[in-house]
Structure 1
Amino acid sequence: MGATASVPDTIDVDEITFNTGKWRLSKRQISSLWTRFYELDRDGRGDAKGYKGYLDAVDLGRVPKFNQNPIAKRLIKVIFDDFGSNGKLTFRQFVDFMSTFAQRERGSHNQRRRSSAQTITSTTKTDLESIRYCPNDTARTRKIKFIFRMYDVDHDGRLSKEDVQEILKMMVGQISDEEASIIAEKVVGEFTERQTNSTVSLENFESTLHTLDFNDKMGLKLLK
């Protein structure tokens, strides 16, 4: 078995830990993430671990079973758009993304209950402003925003029938425009009480999904 890669001295683990905010990761978790980052970072031949010092789309495609996901390309695009820069994901950015899917926020049981009960309100924000990540977001809110942004193909801050159609085509592949349109209209209708030509706001999206436990359904065991 090969030796586990150690976090280099050039990376300030204390700073990264602090910057994960209310999702505060431990040094052990940061170290685990570095090992994963190091293993994914390869040269053009797929060799030489830790070669570039950042991850690109090809590197993320090496995640086991990731290439079997029909919307993998869309997922990678959102990851780089939201957390990376110029098609690159540094270790700090990698931690920022991964901390979004930490199993639990630190704090007391009562604090977690209050966090999970918190809902998204955007009464004073534009649609685009409401879907931006904020330092005060709970882990659950951050996950919901990420899912929403993944489905918001045209990135206008609302989910339309056309957005859902695009995702359906990615997921299903062989589906006619007519079939995709019918399914997409029904999906959007679930969030908008079937109002004609309606689009889904982040608040509508969150309120419809409020019964799901996102900390469990969308957690990464790597961060336990």
Structure 2
Amino acid sequence: MGSRSSHAALIPDADSLRRETGFSQASLLRLYHRFRALDTNKKGYLSRMDLQQIGALAVNPLGDRIIDSFFPDGSLQVDFPDFVRVLAHFRPADDEDAGLRDPREPEPLNSRMNKLRFAFQLYDLDRDGKISRHEMLQVLRLMVGVQVTEEQLESIAERTVQEADEDGDGAVSFLEFAKSLEKMDIEQKMSIRILK
């Protein structure tokens, strides 16, 4: 009889990952099985091609950008702990836990601020800490495809950057980005079904 605890022993640093990501032991176990299912060649890590098998990412216009986030600094593979850390950004926020959190502990990966940081890096293509009009235009092209003319996209990108750009430098900093999204329910909008 395979007990849950014996399965959890298969997961490297399960207790540490649970604390860091907020996933329950049962969720970590499901993610571990999903990770192993995606690792079709049983390499012990995932490649970009392995992640492209995830249906929710395949149909997401920003799917390639999200997949890029699994491979920071040009890495070509992602291990299970890093896989879970990235996915934690898409876990719904625990509103009831926010007031009980020890302020000396790191902010949860699924907090509003960390979700915003993650979203910001999807737009900040050159990683310079700012979203330029050109970067906004590139992301808009991905999101709307051919449904909108290039002139309309350029107008939307220009207006979006102008509205968020409080210091007038022609780009959107992370703080400006966060402020422009303060009324959006980012905690619920940023979710991906990964277990199917």
- TM-score range (shorter-chain normalised) is 0.7 to 0.9
Cα 1:222–1:88 change in 2 (3 A) is closer
Question: Is 1:75 equivalent to 2:76 in the alignment?
Answer: no
The whole-number CA distance in structure 1 between the counterparts of 2:122 and 2:184 is 18
So what's the TM-score if we normalise by structure 1? Answer: 0.70
Cα 1:184–1:106 change in 2 (3 A) is closer
Equivalences for residues 144-163 of structure 1 within 5 A: 144-163=116-135
The whole-number CA distance in structure 2 between the counterparts of 1:65 and 1:219 is 10
Cα 1:177–1:107 change in 2 (3 A) is closer
On the 8 A contact 1:80/1:88 being kept in 2, the answer is yes
Question: 3-state SS of the aligned residue for 1:159?
Answer: strand
Q: Which residue of 2 aligns with 1:3?
A: none
Which residue identity does 1:208 align to in structure 2? Answer: S
From 175, 181, 191, the equivalent of 1:203 is: 175
Cα 1:147–1:109 change in 2 (3 A) is closer
Deviation per residue, 1:64-117 (Å, 9 max, x gap) = 2422223322221123227xx6221100101111122222338646448xx9xx
On the 8 A contact 2:56/2:194 being kept in 1, the answer is no
Q: CA deviation at 1:213?
A: 2.5
Question: Is 1:184 equivalent to 2:157 in the alignment?
Answer: yes
Equivalences for residues 23-172 of structure 1 within 5 A: 23-43=21-41, 51-81=42-72, 86-105=75-94, 108=97, 110-111=99-100, 135-136=106-107, 139-172=111-144
The whole-number CA distance in structure 1 between the counterparts of 2:192 and 2:152 is 34
Q: CA deviation at 1:180?
A: 3.2
On the 8 A contact 2:70/2:83 being kept in 1, the answer is no
Q: Which residue of 1 aligns with 2:13?
A: 12
Deviation per residue, 1:24-66 (Å, 9 max, x gap) = 32211211111111111113xxxxxxx1111111111111242
Question: 3-state SS of the aligned residue for 1:200?
Answer: strand
Q: CA deviation at 1:15?
A: 2.9
What 5-or-longer segments of structure 2 have no aligned partner?
A: 1-6
Q: Which residue of 2 aligns with 1:126?
A: none
The whole-number CA distance in structure 2 between the counterparts of 1:106 and 1:191 is 27
Which residue identity does 1:180 align to in structure 2? Answer: L
Question: 3-state SS of the aligned residue for 2:131?
Answer: coil
Aligned Cα root-mean-square deviation (Å): 3.1
So what's the TM-score if we normalise by structure 2? Answer: 0.78
On the 8 A contact 1:103/1:221 being kept in 2, the answer is no
The whole-number CA distance in structure 1 between the counterparts of 2:75 and 2:163 is 36
What 5-or-longer segments of structure 1 have no aligned partner?
A: 1-5, 44-50, 116-133
The whole-number CA distance in structure 1 between the counterparts of 2:68 and 2:31 is 21
Aligned residue pairs, count: 186
